[in-house]
Structure 1
Amino acid sequence: MTDLKTEALPPPPPEIPLNFVRAKAPVPNRVPMARRGFGSKGQKISIVTNHFNVKLSSTSDNFYQYSVALSYEDGNPVEAKGVGRGVLDEVQKLYGSDLDGKGFAYDGEKTMFTVGPLPGTKFEFPVVLENSSSNRIIRGGSPSEGESTKRSRRPPQSKSYTVKISYATKIPIQAIFDALRGHESEQFHEAVRVLDVLLRQHAAKQGCLLVRQCFFHNDPKLSISIGGGVVGCRGFHSSFRATQGGLSLNMDVSTTMIVRPGKVVDFLLENQNVRNIRDIDWVKAKRMLKNLRIKTSPSTIEHKIIGLSEKSCREQKFTMKQRGGGSPSEPIEITVFEYYAKFRGYILGESQHFPCLDVGKPKRPVYIPLELCELISLQRYTKSLSNLQRASLVEKSRQKPQDRMRALTDALNRSDYNSDPLIKSTGITISTTFNQLEGRVLEPPKLKFGSGGDLFPRGGRWNFNNKTLVDPSKINCWAVVNFSARCDINGLIRNLLRATQAKGMNVSEPYTVIEENHQARRNPAPVRVDMMFGAIKEQLPGPPSFLLCILPERKNSDIYGPWKRKCLAEFGIVTQCVAPTRINDQYVTNLLLKINSKMGGINSLLAVEQSNLIPLVSKIPTVIFGMDVSHGSPGRSDVPSIAAVVSSRQWPLISRYRASVRAQSARVEMIDGLFQPVSADKDEGMIRELLEDFYLSTPRLKPQHIIIFRDGVSESQFSQVLNIEFEQIMQACKYLDDTWDPKFMIIVAQKTHHTKFFQPNSDANVPPGTIIDNKVCNPKNNDFYLCAQNGPIGTTRPTHYHVLLDQIGFSPDDLQELVHSLSYVYQRSTTAISVVAPICYAHLAAAQMSQFVKFDDMSDAASSHSGGAGSSAAGFTQLPKLHDRVSSSMFFC
């Protein structure tokens, strides 16, 4: 792409060093912009939200933070989790007078807070805590009857601790009032953290499971079974927010996964989907049970499982010391089965033939038969869910708006925060009624089709009945490949050809249908793909322009990744994968929309886009970026994250995009590959690649406006977006042409928040196009909420947009209209989507590249440019280069 460099973007002056290191450049200190005004367009609508007013007394005392250090009596620090709350409760009981009777909020780890100061700056208290869950049993025995007969004369085991409390800092309550006036500071976040800790401690006293800022009651009515012995436990999220309407408590429904409490045997049967204990895979069982806690029958003492016995109860022996008469006799070896029969008078049932649970220590096992063990409640299940479990969770977690409102009201009343003396001492009062506010419903944008005239979507939806595509593509040489799927292929082809003709596409009959050899099914997926391409070369006269691939399984077929890689990286063939279960008109239309977009066509346009009437976009060359990062599964630090940036092309269109993708360090959210100079005239970053594409896809124009939509970052990372990512983007622009000075806009879109909106006295969601930029928004920063989508199921989740920078000068109405319109240009759908299309495309591109690449066999020699390439700062092997024929296509659509 030399035209861009030589004709319009000259290289930088020679004094720029060859080994340019951007880390040496001073890091600027940009902050999010302040709000410039409010929107006024749209029909006004009354709304309530799940924010609850918090009144704070202006005479409230300051918060004081203290460090807490726990150690055993030998001086070693306490590292076990869950010990601190019990120890600190004992401190309050025994030494309350030494602390002036003050209550404190303890975070469960190393920090506590008080309202007003303690009488000193350093304290040290000895505490003895009974260890109710200790293994006070004979080795190999059970904590039931044997405990009373053998150890009745021994006192309960206990542990001694030393608690050191020392003053850390003062947190002024005034910081909250300052934040409500738009002067947010780090002290505000610390003050709000104190309030959050107060609520967590209150929930802990009620016996809740705490997961960050969520809490879960032990209530079977709030549980949903999703199979495999896993239960979705419904609970509630709570956090304090500074808003234009004052301080508010944001409460929302939350769900965490727990193991089903009850008999261990029942859990294993359900977890492994078997009917009989004889069919249990004990290797899997050991992995699944490790670190779970049980109680034994008939005792209620708790234990942690460390593993399983190597042999069955009948065969597993242990050494037991006996006491008879006045002196101990020689130790004896006895099996677990014999021990229970002889010393407990209990004959084990079927579990005698299977392993015991080991609840001791690595060198001192304690064996308990399975049939005597029950899993205790509220134990988190942290392993990955299967596809079926995920689908079940999504389906069963849905709540209609009024059901969610009732659940939140019940949770707030049940929590009864205003009765907590420590919370009352802070001077705060929490309302129990939903905040009311005013929203606006924006008109849907008019859409343009190939024929049939314009159309205004209704309820966030539209269809292609009696309409053709705006820019239909042409497909000549193509074929169908079938990986052993049972499907009416001839019927699918007939329906597809009929639909393409009706929508204006020129698609010929497929050259052939290539069936997988039945003997190939047993091979690994990459081998099956290679064999299929061997058949394609044999049966087709030349390279096809398109392949329709029928997969045998829906969702995560192991063939999908190798197939996509082969098509897109090696051969440059556009492909569409399907796994149809029921073929109808809507299915075929949706399939057609994807194929047309991938082949370079456009399905529909905004009317204002076609007539060049988008304010500040249509008249001035403008490029729109969408940026996102896709991470591997939780805990997989060996799998790189995938960063993707998509950009609009062929200005003045804003409906056509291409993508650039890079691998980078695992779990890193900031995008590293935006600007990667390797010499004075060579930058291998994503922004350069996309700007060159914009320049070549328009008649040799450089964008004067650059609008950036960023997904996946939290409010604490806004400064990094402004000062690190934005800096890279500007350097990439200057690297291409140091006289070029475009104007920028940066908008962050957030979906992972807990604000919801409801129509009072209605079980329907808020209408599509509902926008809120008042009362519940930030007191100073430029943000707004938008519900662009139709929410027919469950409760609509709005997207929270934060405008971090606007050098272009959009009015609030023009910006909100643009964001709303970008929810209607998603080419593979006939509905408005919940977040702007560029972000959805970036997410799709990152997800697809991560799926069709196996990182352990990436080529070190892969090129670092084009739509799917790149090296990361962490030294990962690189993503393969997309073939030139597909690199600028919407392959991700």
Structure 2
Amino acid sequence: MAMKKISSPPEGLKVTNFIKRPSLGNQGREIRVRANFFEVTSLPEANIHHYDITITPEVPPSLNRKVYQEFEELNSKSNFNNILPVFDGRKNIFTFEPLPFKDSATFDIILPEDDGSTSTKRQPRAFKIKLKKVNEINMKELQRFLNGKGQCTSNVLTAIMALDVLIKHKPSMKYVPVGRSFYTREGSKSLFGSVEVWQGYYQSARPTPGKMMINIDLCATAFYESGPLINVIVKLLEKRNPDDLRKGINERERVKLEKELKNLKIRVTHRGSNNAKRRYKISKITLQDAQRTKFDDADGHTTDVASYFQKTYKRLNYPHLPCVVVKKDNFLPMEICEVIEGQRYLRKLNERQTADMIKFTCQPPNIRANKIKMGLDTLNYRDNEQMTQFKMKVSNDMAIVQARVLPIPTINYNASSKDATFAPKDGVWNLRYKKVVNGATLGSWSVLVFGSDREFPIPSVQRFVRELITTCSDTGMNIPNKTPPILHANPQGNVEESLKQAWIRAGNAANLRPQLVLCVLPNTGIQLYGSIKRASDTIIGVVTQCIQSKHMMQAGKQYCANVCLKINVKLGGMNSFLSPKQNPFLHEKPSILMGADVTHPPPGSSRPSIAALCASMDDRASRYAASIRRQTSRTEIISELANMVKDMLKTFYQTSGKKPERILFYRDGVSEGQFEQVLKGEIKAVKSACQSLDPKYSPTITFVIVQKRHHARFFPIDKRDTDRTGNCLPGTIVETGVVHPVEFDFYLQSQAGLQGTCRPTHYHVLYDENKFTPDSLQTLSYNLCYIYARCTRVVSLVPPVYYAHLVCSRARFHINGDNFNEESSTEGDIEVAYGDVKPELLKVMYFM
């Protein structure tokens, strides 16, 4: 199959600020796959007219759309000569012809009250809409960019935005829009505790070589269940049925309800259909029940809610339940309230809800592909009046793109192993008869069991320890101390003190500095785990390995082997490596791999963001060191990157005795809009770090963005190109058809499918002084995914970035005095004290 030649722009024209795709790769077996991209077969050719819209008074986006809808119905036929504008829900309107006024116009809109009743005292709301012409979008310039003949100007970006708004306008008026997706209750499923998951469709206009495509994917999000508030409360409080509420609720349940129901929108049902559309927002729950909640009626007499309702409407069925408070102090009995449909559930899902959500969203590739095709019927581009006016058409068929399956690398274990060098089949292998490359020596350690000796008797713990020692020894570790001290501790007690005791006992028993505390946890709760990691990483400076008590009781060989892999690298050992032939970049001359990530606090929190950098320490790229910094909350650019890079270059030199001549920097967590900013700030930081060590030191740098948060999915066409889960085979690479028109990017699905549809990783090269060819970078990135230290399967992400991600996650536990529950991360966190990881731990892979 002939590869398409990349068209070059006219001489001297710079078509991108980043690296252009040098050529196309040709390693591996060529195949074809379906991609969830649908070709725009007809693009608007004439200029698109762009208007700024201001709606006053300012209201939330959902109401903006209602105001706009009213405006559209009044004006599109009469005043606008049948022109149908499209609206982004906030500030922008686009039309295929100019609107019949010069530069700006103002319109008055009266929005009828929700309840549709004329007898209500509430007045209809008046709005002003001001339209102002901003620009004409030149669509020929977009076509030049797609053909690789022009730069991505602000005009091109606005053209893409206009197409985005055009495909979203109609669904956003009809369904519940959230970001680039919209959701429909059709096929929804109840999750535990009055929450339901709705199916949604994501859609985005994407520029690709020579054409625009629409990327369509499935998505899902949680909504509050609608319907009678009483039914919602039954589920929230885990009651069997509404009768269980007749005697009322206790204070703990009342507090829980107030937290869950705050800001929920409801309507009332006691005044007939006229008032059924009137909406209220719950502000709190009364302290007393309806019989004891008092207020002054219209005549100035004090009465209670239950008596008032019995006199005015009907007797309450649940007089012992508290009331919901709306407005300032309007009391509504719970039984007359209904939860309004389509309200997103913004709280963190609990474990049970998360498990239900995963079941709902986890769909094999063939089912996902079919549902995406069905989504096209829901989107219904064909019968979209606005798209017809703009002369835009979209294909009904998924794009078929060329792909390649890269060759499987060979992995190396210790030379004394059976099959010391082998190529894994289907991306998975096991450790049977294999020894790690460098086995660490574990001489000084102890076991700390969080739970009583009645619950976890010493003989059970010893049995597990024996199995673990045997497995670790078989796998190549050296464990001279086979009887570590065993201590029991209270899981609710002082964790730091318990760890210090375990540390002292380990040191005294072996007469050596303690290397490891093996912690047995009674459950999967994050609180105890977080406290252990905070104390061990930032106060004591000792490696810990946590294991679940259920696994200890079973003492399985496979589980012990996985634990062994983690312990070995935590103590400075090495598990496996790639041969020089599989990894020429690191072997030809001293080179370093770096991976960086930034993690942000949850919404509403003022805690700092955390930046982590991990870097390889030798030419085998199997051992890594880490550097961590805290920075201003929600800042994506790594502010102290220069010092972090300096840390890593020094550690590399101390470990290998060499200065890296080349740097390959993988950067996670950056969206397209931030590419320019990250590139300028972070490349400069890497260069200044090198120069601060030695003014003449200037290694060559390649900077690659790594993205997992995207909606590209690939589906095999031929049966021989599928793995056992129906996904594409590990090593499937896509670099044509659905990629950037000219820049050097590619999708690599390196992992083997476990469940659901695999998400490929998107690699985008922004800067390259190392002159990588597509083959050399793609192969290196894929091969590295086979030597992620803590499992025996190929992973979805290059290890340097994976490790940086683990370091960021771990740093969240380094807050002094935090109990790591879901609420602590968002409330009362103005001043928090973070502990710093001990320097000796940063040089080993403590985070595994």
TM-score (norm 1): 0.85
Per the alignment, residue 428 of structure 2 pairs with: 461
Q: Which secondary structure state, in structure 2, belongs to the residue aligned with residue 176 of structure 1?
A: helix
Q: Which secondary structure state, in structure 1, belongs to the residue aligned with residue 422 of structure 2?
A: coil
Per the alignment, residue 711 of structure 2 pairs with: 754
Query: Cα deviations across residues 342-381 of structure 1 (Å, max 9, x unaligned)?
Result: 222x2211x211212223x21xx33322112221221101
Per the alignment, residue 97 of structure 2 pairs with: 116
Query: Cα deviations across residues 204-229 of structure 1 (Å, max 9, x unaligned)?
Result: 332x111010000122x1x2333122
Query: Cα deviations across residues 607-639 of structure 1 (Å, max 9, x unaligned)?
Result: x23xx66334312110111111122222212x1
Structure 2 unaligned segments of length 5 or more: list them.
1-14, 720-724, 820-829
Contact 2:520–2:547 (CA under 8 A) maintained in structure 1: yes
Which of these residues, 237, 240, 243, is aligned with residue 205 of structure 2? 240
Change (3 A) 1:747 1:87: same
Which of these residues, 797, 800, 806, is aligned with residue 835 of structure 1? 797
Q: What is the CA–CA distance in structure 2 between the aligned matches of 1:515 and 1:667, rounded to whole Å?
A: 42
Which of these residues, 691, 694, 697, is aligned with residue 649 of structure 2? 691
Q: What is the CA–CA distance in structure 1 between the aligned matches of 2:73 and 2:582, rounded to whole Å?
A: 71
CA-CA distance at 1:287 after TM superposition: 2.4
Query: Cα deviations across residues 231-272 of structure 1 (Å, max 9, x unaligned)?
Result: 221201000001125110000111111112222122223223
Per the alignment, residue 157 of structure 2 pairs with: 189
Contact 1:36–1:812 (CA under 8 A) maintained in structure 2: yes
Change (3 A) 1:735 1:543: closer
Per the alignment, residue 888 of structure 1 pairs with: 843
Per the alignment, residue 285 of structure 2 pairs with: 308
Query: Cα deviations across residues 568-627 of structure 1 (Å, max 9, x unaligned)?
Result: 333332221111424422211110100111111111111x23xx6633431211011111
Per the alignment, residue 82 of structure 1 pairs with: 62
Paired AA for residue 345 in structure 2:
Y
Contact 1:477–1:511 (CA under 8 A) maintained in structure 2: no
Q: What is the CA–CA distance in structure 2 between the aligned matches of 1:758 and 1:231, rounded to whole Å?
A: 29
Paired AA for residue 469 in structure 2:
L
Is 1:224 aligned with 2:189? yes
Is 1:43 aligned with 2:58? no
Q: What is the CA–CA distance in structure 1 between the aligned matches of 2:832 and 2:138, rounded to whole Å?
A: 46
Contact 2:37–2:398 (CA under 8 A) maintained in structure 1: yes
Contact 2:249–2:321 (CA under 8 A) maintained in structure 1: no
Q: What is the CA–CA distance in structure 1 between the aligned matches of 2:764 and 2:119, rounded to whole Å?
A: 67
CA-CA distance at 1:91 after TM superposition: 2.1
Moved more, 335-344 or 524-533: 524-533
Residues 522-601 of structure 1 correspond to what in structure 2 (within 5 A)?
522-523=492-493, 525-526=495-496, 528-529=498-499, 541=511, 543-556=513-526, 558-582=527-551, 583-601=555-573
Q: What is the CA–CA distance in structure 2 between the aligned matches of 1:154 and 1:796, rounded to whole Å?
A: 54
Change (3 A) 1:527 1:270: farther
Contact 1:529–1:559 (CA under 8 A) maintained in structure 2: no
CA-CA distance at 1:668 after TM superposition: 1.3
Which of these residues, 188, 202, 205, is aligned with residue 170 of structure 2? 202
Q: What is the CA–CA distance in structure 2 between the aligned matches of 1:305 and 1:155, rounded to whole Å?
A: 21
Query: Cα deviations across residues 483-520 of structure 1 (Å, max 9, x unaligned)?
Result: 11755322211211121222122113444343334xx4
Contact 2:701–2:768 (CA under 8 A) maintained in structure 1: yes
CA-CA distance at 1:320 after TM superposition: 3.3
Q: What is the CA–CA distance in structure 1 between the aligned matches of 2:483 and 2:443, rounded to whole Å?
A: 9
Per the alignment, residue 382 of structure 1 pairs with: 346
Aligned residues: 792
Per the alignment, residue 596 of structure 2 pairs with: 627
Q: What is the CA–CA distance in structure 2 between the aligned matches of 1:691 and 1:533, rounded to whole Å?
A: 32
Query: Cα deviations across residues 74-129 of structure 1 (Å, max 9, x unaligned)?
Result: xxx23344322222222223233222331111222232221121111222222222
Paired AA for residue 125 in structure 1:
F
Residues 154-553 of structure 1 correspond to what in structure 2 (within 5 A)?
157-182=123-148, 183=150, 184-206=152-174, 208-219=175-186, 221=187, 223-244=188-209, 246-275=211-240, 276-277=244-245, 278-279=248-249, 281-297=253-269, 299=273, 300-301=276-277, 302-321=279-298, 330-344=299-313, 346-349=314-317, 351-359=318-326, 361-362=327-328, 365-450=329-414, 451-453=417-419, 454-484=421-451, 486-487=455-456, 488-517=460-489, 520-523=490-493, 525-526=495-496, 528-529=498-499, 541=511, 543-553=513-523
Query: Cα deviations across residues 638-667 of structure 1 (Å, max 9, x unaligned)?
Result: x111111111113x2211111111111111
Contact 2:21–2:744 (CA under 8 A) maintained in structure 1: yes
Paired AA for residue 600 in structure 1:
G
Is 1:764 aligned with 2:726? yes
Contact 1:43–1:441 (CA under 8 A) maintained in structure 2: yes
Paired AA for residue 430 in structure 1:
V
Residues 638-649 of structure 1 correspond to what in structure 2 (within 5 A)?
639-649=607-617
Per the alignment, residue 63 of structure 1 pairs with: 48
Q: Which secondary structure state, in structure 1, belongs to the residue aligned with residue 544 of structure 2?
A: strand
Q: What is the CA–CA distance in structure 2 between the aligned matches of 1:193 and 1:258, rounded to whole Å?
A: 28
Residues 74-153 of structure 1 correspond to what in structure 2 (within 5 A)?
77-96=57-76, 97-120=78-101, 121-133=103-115
Contact 1:443–1:769 (CA under 8 A) maintained in structure 2: yes
Per the alignment, residue 625 of structure 2 pairs with: 658
Query: Cα deviations across residues 763-815 of structure 1 (Å, max 9, x unaligned)?
Result: 71000111111111111000011011001310000000001111111222111
Paired AA for residue 563 in structure 2:
L
Q: What is the CA–CA distance in structure 1 between the aligned matches of 2:651 and 2:121, rounded to whole Å?
A: 79
TM-score (norm 2): 0.89
Change (3 A) 1:310 1:892: closer
Q: What is the CA–CA distance in structure 2 between the aligned matches of 1:535 and 1:400, rounded to whole Å?
A: 51
Q: What is the CA–CA distance in structure 2 between the aligned matches of 1:569 and 1:200, rounded to whole Å?
A: 49
CA-CA distance at 1:537 after TM superposition: 7.0
Q: What is the CA–CA distance in structure 2 between the aligned matches of 1:887 and 1:155, rounded to whole Å?
A: 67
Q: What is the CA–CA distance in structure 2 between the aligned matches of 1:195 and 1:565, rounded to whole Å?
A: 49
Contact 2:537–2:838 (CA under 8 A) maintained in structure 1: yes
- RMSD, aligned CA: 2.5
Per the alignment, residue 827 of structure 2 pairs with: none
Contact 1:68–1:165 (CA under 8 A) maintained in structure 2: yes
Paired AA for residue 661 in structure 1:
I
Paired AA for residue 844 in structure 2:
S
Q: What is the CA–CA distance in structure 2 between the aligned matches of 1:101 and 1:467, rounded to whole Å?
A: 74
Structure 1 unaligned segments of length 5 or more: list them.
1-28, 72-76, 137-151, 322-329, 676-684, 858-873
Q: What is the CA–CA distance in structure 2 between the aligned matches of 1:447 and 1:846, rounded to whole Å?
A: 28
Contact 1:413–1:432 (CA under 8 A) maintained in structure 2: no
Is 1:745 aligned with 2:702? yes
Change (3 A) 1:34 1:354: same
Contact 2:575–2:622 (CA under 8 A) maintained in structure 1: no
Q: Which secondary structure state, in structure 2, belongs to the residue aligned with residue 83 of structure 1?
A: helix
Paired AA for residue 371 in structure 1:
E
Contact 1:250–1:754 (CA under 8 A) maintained in structure 2: yes
CA-CA distance at 1:532 after TM superposition: 5.3
Contact 1:261–1:377 (CA under 8 A) maintained in structure 2: yes
Q: Which secondary structure state, in structure 2, belongs to the residue aligned with residue 892 of structure 1?
A: coil
Change (3 A) 1:829 1:522: closer
Q: What is the CA–CA distance in structure 1 between the aligned matches of 2:342 and 2:444, rounded to whole Å?
A: 58
Contact 2:705–2:765 (CA under 8 A) maintained in structure 1: yes
CA-CA distance at 1:38 after TM superposition: 0.6
CA-CA distance at 1:688 after TM superposition: 1.1
Q: What is the CA–CA distance in structure 2 between the aligned matches of 1:856 and 1:670, rounded to whole Å?
A: 27
